[in-house]
Amino acid sequence: MQVVIFAGGTGSRLSEYTEQIPKPLVPIGDSPIIHHIMKIYAKQGFTDFVICLGYKGYLIKEYFYNYYAHNTDMKINLKTNEIIYYNDPSEDWTVSLIDTGVESLTGSRLLKIKDYIKGDFLCTYGDGVGDVNINSLIEFHNEHNRVATLTAVQVANRFGVLKLNENQVEVFQEKPINESSWINAGFFVFSEKIFDYLEQEQDNFDLAFTLSNLAHNNELSAYRHNGFWKAMDTLQDKRVLDSLWNENKAPWRYND
């Protein structure tokens, strides 16, 4: 199955980096977050990627065009232009880099790559990592036979929670998991029928509108993921992910 990655947004809440580079190229540890995401899929057998470009998309093209230079040590003979790479960073991947427009929203981006997609496919955002079992996700999707399946996760409350008895605090919990709420973490499986729904939307639309329509028609399943997931939305999120990676505690890390 192909893997579609949304990589076209401006990432304005991470402007410390995204004024210069697109959000998917913001590094976690020593490589861009999009590379981490691709590794999650590739280590589970999915290596055919279609990347939806937009904001500063030429820099993502440059990263993959010069993949060797970005990912290995090398020696260059400046007289002959001969290049010797000291190790082999190559991956058995194919990567399609498709310009879907700077201003396009996610639903419109997905519709614009229709001609590059064959059959059912996987899809995710270019800013979130997790230890999602992709094969289990696909199996779940096939069992329920709906147009789309999203991965649902529970996240900690932003603030601590109090249980009060008049003016007395009976329980104080520091940012507990909100067990009553699930959010969309991406890591989708889409039937090719998704394009029938996308074609019904307006000129520029977010994927959330299509997901809402699918839910209304009982065509959207939720695969509950109880493991790790985190989106890199702010500088603090990046620092958390950096720390996990640099301390070799990243749950999404797949050993080579």
Q: Is residue 132 packed enough to be buried (19+ CB in 10 Å), middle (13-18) or exposed (0-12)?
A: buried
- Pairwise CA distance, residues 176 & 81, whole Å: 57
> What is the average pLDDT across 107-111?
96
Q: How confident is the model at residue 63 (pLDDT cuts 50, 70, 90)?
A: very high
Query: pLDDT digit string (tens) for 114-169?
Result: 999 999 999 999 999 999 999 999 999 999 999 999 999 988 766 565 566 665 56
Burial of residue 215 (CB within 10 Å: 0-12, 13-18, 19+) is middle
pLDDT in tens, 188-200: 999 999 999 999 8
Q: Where are the domains of the chain?
A: 2-154+183-246
Handedness of CA 180, 186, 189, 192 (dihedral sign): positive
Distance of CA 155 to the CA centre of its chain: 17
Is the pTM higher than 0.75?
yes
Share the mean pLDDT of the chain: 92
- What's the rounded Cα separation, in Å, for the pair 256 and 252? 13
Residue 29 has pLDDT above 90, yes or no: yes
Distance of CA 84 to the CA centre of its chain: 33
| CATH superfamily, with its number, for domain 2-154+183-246 | Spore Coat Polysaccharide Biosynthesis Protein SpsA; Chain A (3.90.550.10)
Q: Residue 11, Cα to own-chain centre: how many angstroms?
A: 13
Q: How far apart are CA 230 and CA 185, in angstroms?
A: 8
CA–CA dist 120, 256 (Å, integer):
28
> For position 231, what pLDDT does the model report?
96
